[in-house]
């Protein structure tokens, strides 16, 4: 069986999940893995270090306005019709100012991007990232928040919100309990705390992601995008 980006394969995925029932889980009525996805030529795996370097190099090109617009041709489009193997996965905020493919100067099939207001690690988000890592083979997940995040601001206000907005805000509030909101730049502190909290939630709430980390097949990185400068900073 081909191993692409460290693709773990059908049997190994079942072991990671620990539940035979996952074998019948479906996306659009088909198994999580398809024959087309696993019956492709081998390529070199992209380890977490290499993947992060690609992202940061791309962000540097974006900063310097030296973008290469890689993998955006019709040829690339056709190449991806039967399978995808993104080298990195991004959990990002849905904010229109933070499009991952643009700020990292990437193209078709490079990134598996999941975006939601406040980059909240909900069950559906976690399930999507389990798919991108255990099935598609991404060995890097970047939790990408950003300066001036509106969802974080609303969580700080701690006021009731109409409709389903509260689901987003409530997903952020636990992160705020970990920071001092009375000193320093409370908004930057809150954004940083939320990014780190959501990254922790990915590992705590998913046995699949935790197992991949334990066997060296996955790294989760926290990062913050500065909408004023365009720079992505890694949070230690």
Between residues 86 and 23, which one has the greater pLDDT?
86
CA distances from 232 to 1, 52, 61, 142, 143 (A): 36, 11, 12, 11, 11
The DSSP 8-state label assigned to residue 190 in this structure reads H
Domain layout of the chain by residue ranges: 46-235
Mean pLDDT, all residues of the chain:
86
Beta bridge partners of 88: 111
The tokens for 14 are 């079942």
Assess contact for 221 and 141: CB atoms under 8 A.
yes
- Mean pLDDT across 96-105: 98
Question: Are 115 and 93 a contacting pair, CB within 8 Å?
Answer: yes
Which of 35-44, 182-191, 224-233 comes out lowest in average pLDDT?
Answer: 35-44
121 φ/ψ angles, rounded to the nearest 5 degrees: -85, 75
Q: How do residues 197-209 score in pLDDT, each as one tens digit?
A: 999 999 999 999 9
The phi and psi torsions of 6 (rounded to 5 degrees) equal 80, 20
CATH topology of domain 46-235: Beta-carbonic Anhydrase; Chain A (3.40.1050)
Q: How much is the CA Rg of the chain, to the nearest whole Å?
A: 18
Which residue in the block uniquely carries the two structure tokens 């060296």? 216
Q: Is 137 helix (H, G, I), strand (E, B) or coil?
A: coil
What is the pLDDT at residue 3? Answer: 42
Q: Is there a binding annotation on residue 224? A: no
Q: What is the pLDDT of residue 37?
A: 41
Higher pLDDT pick, 184 / 29: 184
pLDDT score for 183: 77
Cβ-Cβ contacts under 8 Å for 41 (sequence gap 6 or more): 2
26-70: per-residue pLDDT in tens? 334 333 444 444 333 345 679 999 999 999 999 999 999 999 999
Helices (H), the chain: 9-17, 35-38, 48-63, 74-79, 100-103, 123-130, 150-157, 165-176, 186-205, 207-214
């Amino acid at each position: 069986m081909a191993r692409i980006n460290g693709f773990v394969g059908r049997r190994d995925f079942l072991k990671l999940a620990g539940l035979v029932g996952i074998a019948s889980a479906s996306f659009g009525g088909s198994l999580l893995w398809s024959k087309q996805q696993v019956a492709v030529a081998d390529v070199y795996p992209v380890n977490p270090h290499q993947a992060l370097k690609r992202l940061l190099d791309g962000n540097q090109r974006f900063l310097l306005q030296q973008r290469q617009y890689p993998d955006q041709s019709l040829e690339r489009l056709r190449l991806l019709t039967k399978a995808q193997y993104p080298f990195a996965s991004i959990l990002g905020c849905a904010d229109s100012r933070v499009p991952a493919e643009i700020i990292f100067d990437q193209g078709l099939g490079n990134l598996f991007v999941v975006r939601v207001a406040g980059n909240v690690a909900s069950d559906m988000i976690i399930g999507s990232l389990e798919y991108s890592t255990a099935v598609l083979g991404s060995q890097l997940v970047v939790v990408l928040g950003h300066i001036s995040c509106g969802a974080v601001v609303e969580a700080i206000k701690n006021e009731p919100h109409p409709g389903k907005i509260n689901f987003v805000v409530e997903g952020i509030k636990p992160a705020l309990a970990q920071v001092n909101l009375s000193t320093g730049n409370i908004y930057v502190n809150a954004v940083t705390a939320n990014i780190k909290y959501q990254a922790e939630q990915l590992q705590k709430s998913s046995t699949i992601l935790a197992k991949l980390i334990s066997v060296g097949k996955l790294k989760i990185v926290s990062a913050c995008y500065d909408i004023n400068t365009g720079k992505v900073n890694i949070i230690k």
